[in-house]
Each structure stands twice: as structure tokens, then as C-alpha cells.
Amino acid sequence: MPTEQKPLHSGFGRKSTAEEVLGKTDLHGRVVLITGGYAGIGLETARVLRKGGATVIIGARDLEKAHRNLSEMKDIEMMKLDLTDPKSIDEFSEKFLAKHPTLHFLINNGAVMQTPLLRDGRGNELQFSTNHLGHFQLTARLWGALKNARGARVVCVSSFGHRYGRVDLEDPNFLNRPYDKMQAYGQSKTANALFAVELDQHGKAHGIRAFSLHPGAIIETDLARHLTDEELAPWGVTRENGVRKAPDKDFFKTIPQGASTTVWCTVSPLLDGKGGVYCADCDISPLVPDEDSTTHEGVRSWAIDPSVAKKLWDLTEKLTHLEWPS
């Protein structure tokens, strides 16, 4: 039976931090891979899971930045990974598997947001390529290691930004429609959630469960670097001495709060035996009406529709030129 898309009343909330969620969870002997885990909420996720005793590996597009940001955590391993480059993904996976034949937690965290129209080497729109296609290929390459865990979780960092766009299955790469960077971002975040839905169907027979999540609105990360001050102004964001400030503390989260739902999806025993659901604020999110385009809470049906998830899966196999391993 599919997991219900309704809150579990976890005891945590939007103000909970990643450390609070981890609590006394013992992760010794567990292997965690985090894409983009060298900045923002990915970095905080890495720090907290490492504190719990996990072996943490970071897939990093910018290794120099990764070494700089993780300089005080000498035991975290960093490896080059460009999610827009199929060769880089394959090389990363080969090196990873040579050292770590078992993977307990895969956190698909790396992302770009509202970029100008850019394309990867195969012509795919950059946000769709980075946020969805790259993670699809990476997860496929590491499938055997996830199966070896006999109880793995795959955590896909989506966003309430999924409300900005469904996946256009006919033209996901904006080849025949005008490019809109917000719509493209929304499409990629919807794809993250749909990937978790279908991935959970493929994985649960092997003990692999998948989740997607909205981390919250966090202004302090690099993710918003492509947004202008004018685009952020409606959210109440201002700039003081060159630094962006978010005055609405009820809406925006700190980085430790932003990493909390990722950690919750990774370690919470409340999610044992469950999967394929979209989460936020350290709980399963409620379903909200599709026509409600203003609320930042909940998930729209198009991001968790099993039939659309299957169609996206089939399309993604074609776009990535791979067949999912058994």
C-alpha cells in the first residue's frame, strides 16, 4: 500500500535544527553520499551526519571550494562530480564503488536555481540536467551499493518551488517554448519529487525507500545567486553592507533549520517502511489544491502523481541513454 501523503506529527517542526533532529542517533558504520554537500544546507547536513558517526562522502563540482569549506572536517571524503556531465558521473561512481561497495544513504542535494538559459553538453536545459537528470544517472550507477545496504534511503531535495511548474513531458528542455527561468526551476523541483515516487516503487523490494522534501526558504546559501535584488524584494529581502538580509523570520529559515528535514528523512524511524512521499518541516506534507498558487505549504498533486512519475522515468531513461539496473 502506498504511503499516505499526510503528516505523522513527528514532534519536530519548521524551527527544528538538523542537530535536534539527529539527537542521539548512532550512525557509526553507515555510509552517506551527499551531492553538493560542501555549501549551504548540504554542508550542514554533512556536518551533522558526520557528528552522528557516519562515514560521509561529498560529490563536489568545485573541489577547491569543497576543500576550503570542509577544511576542519578532515575525515570527510571529497570527490569530483559534475551532475551535468555523464562522463563525470560515471567516473565518480566507479571511484566511489571501489571504496564503498555499500551505500546506506544517498542524499541528492546538489542544485542550481533560476539560471539564465544554459544547456549541458547534450543540449538539455541546465536546471533540468543538474537537478534531475544527473541525480537519476548517479542513483542508477550506485543502485547495487544501495541494494547492498539492505535498508537504504534515497533523499531527494526538492522545493516548494515545484508549484512554479509541472514537468512538460513533450518539451522539458525548452526547445519549442519560450524559456522562463522560474518555470524551469519549478519543473526541475517537480521532477525531483516525481523521481522519489517512482524510485520508491523500484526500490522497496530491495529495502530501498525514497523521499523528497522542501528544506525551507534560506537566503544565506549560494543557491539564490542568480536572483537579482529586484527579484528578491517581494520576499522582503534587502541588502545591508553588501549582504542580503531576510527580515521575515517566520518565513525564512536559518541553514541549520534548512538542513533539518533532510536529516529527518535520512534517519527518522517514523519513516521506516514508508516511502515515495514529499516532506517539509520534518514531517510528511499535506496535499494542497493544485489551483492554490500562493500557499508555500504542502505539495501539489502533480508532484506526486504516480502515472506522471512513471512517464517521467521513461523519458529520463531516454534522455540519459540508460536502462535502470535490476
Cell 499526510 appears where?
A: 6
C-alpha cell of residue 168: 512538460
Q: How many CA atoms lie within 13 A of 213 on its CB side?
A: 31
Active-site hit among 38, 164, 185, 278 = 185
**Given phi > 0 = left and psi -120 to 50 = alpha, else beta, which region is 324?**
beta
**Cβ-based burial of 93 (10 A; exposed 0-12, middle 13-18, buried ≥19):** buried
Looking up cell 565518480 gives: 92
Catalytic site includes residue 179: no
Cell numbers standing for residue 28 = 557509526
Q: Which residues are known to be catalytic? A: 185
